[in-house]
Amino acid sequence: MTNPNMIQVNHISKHFGNHAAVQDVSFNVHQGEIFGLLGPNGAGKTTLIKMMTTLLRPDQGQILLNGFDTQTQSRLAKQQFSVTGQTAAIDQDLTATENLMIFGQLSGLTHRAARRRATELLAAFDLVASAHQTLATFSGGMRRRLDLAVSLVGKPKLLFLDEPTTGLDPRTRDQMWRVIKDMVASGSTVLLTTQYLEEAAQFADRIALIDHGKLQAIGTPAELGQRVGGKQLRLQVTAAKMLAEAQRILQAAIKQPIQVGQRSLTVALADDQLPVCAGLLDQLAAAKIGVSQFAITSPSLDEVFFKLTVGKN
């Protein structure tokens, strides 16, 4: 059974004592998506993941994984996903290959298929040279790679990754992302949390911003960018005496309030005004106005994050 929504979170709430960790959160994750859950420390991301992966029971609401209810059909719901953070279940005295093979056989692969899968995963995570070392000799980054490799053994339809790249060096982060994107290309759905906003902006198809247990915003990185004001045009002239004429030309083309600096002009741009910008450069040149900067910028996800979340502290 497949479902266009791999995850359906409907009006979920969770309290710890009097503290509302998650409050009436609803969202869907579509099949084949990389979906990012973002929020400041203590926002409720881990609590949400724990409820989605059946480790915690919500006080209210319903979660469906590939159509199966995590509370009333928990056995079937559990069969739909894999989750990272199983390092505790990995045996320190066994080698990387042996660990992967055990998990492969536990997930129903034959001995031969488990060996083949272990070989594939060791190659994907650049662990071939360490394949026969015991885990006790592994560095933190190697462990994290093996942890993700273990969670991919059974080629899960749905993968939960709680901060998969935190603390990893840039090369290892790239490796992680390559494997995650390969998983998605072969049909898996990924929900992840990350502290790295630029990573979420680059890799996630959609992002949900959580703060104080509540869903603050949801959308593609570009849609979230629009929430804090959309694109801007910034124009800088080579000499301050040209500014007034440049302002007149800009104002005639774009009828929005202009922010005037010493040598710069900044104005908000609607998407349909982008073609106007090309003509503007010609008009400025015709008026012999020297331009030292002409840039169209989108708000970064950092700006979105700071604008839409207030954090705990």
Which residues in this chain contact ligand ATP in the complex, by CB under 6 A? Answer: 16, 19, 21, 39, 41-47
Distance, CA of 99 to CA of 123 (rounded, Å): 15
CA distance 167 to 165: 6
**Cβ closer to ligand ATP: 55 or 287?**
55
Q: Give min distance, CB of 43 to ligand ATP, in A.
A: 4
Cα–Cα distance list, 101 to 84, 106, 121 (Å): 17, 8, 11
- What is the closest distance, in whole angstroms, from the C-beta atom of residue 7 to ligand ATP in the complex? 17
Q: How far apart are CA 38 and CA 195, in angstroms?
A: 7
CA distances from 257 to 89, 232, 262 (A): 59, 12, 16
CB 242 within 8 A of CB 290: yes
**Least distance from C-beta 128 to ligand ATP, angstroms?**
33
Nearer to ligand ATP, 56 or 289 (CB): 56
Shortest Å distance, C-beta 12 to ligand ATP: 12
CB 264 within 8 A of CB 292: no
Looking at the Cβ atoms of 47 and 70, the one nearer to ligand ATP is 47
Q: How far is the CB of 39 from ligand ATP (least distance, A)?
A: 5
Task: Name which of 292, 278, 171 is nearest 242 in CA terms.
Answer: 292
- Cβ-based nearer residue to ligand ATP, 42 or 219: 42
Q: Which is nearer to ligand ATP, 48 or 96 (CB)?
A: 48
Contact 175, 4 (CB under 8 A): no
* 301 token code pair: 């996800």
Distance, in Å, from the CA atom of 147 to the CA atom of 122, rounded to the nearest integer, reads: 11
**Distance of alpha carbon 292 from the chain centroid:** 36
47 vs 82, which CB is nearer to ligand ATP? 47
Closest distance between ligand ATP and the C-beta of residue 197, in Å? 13
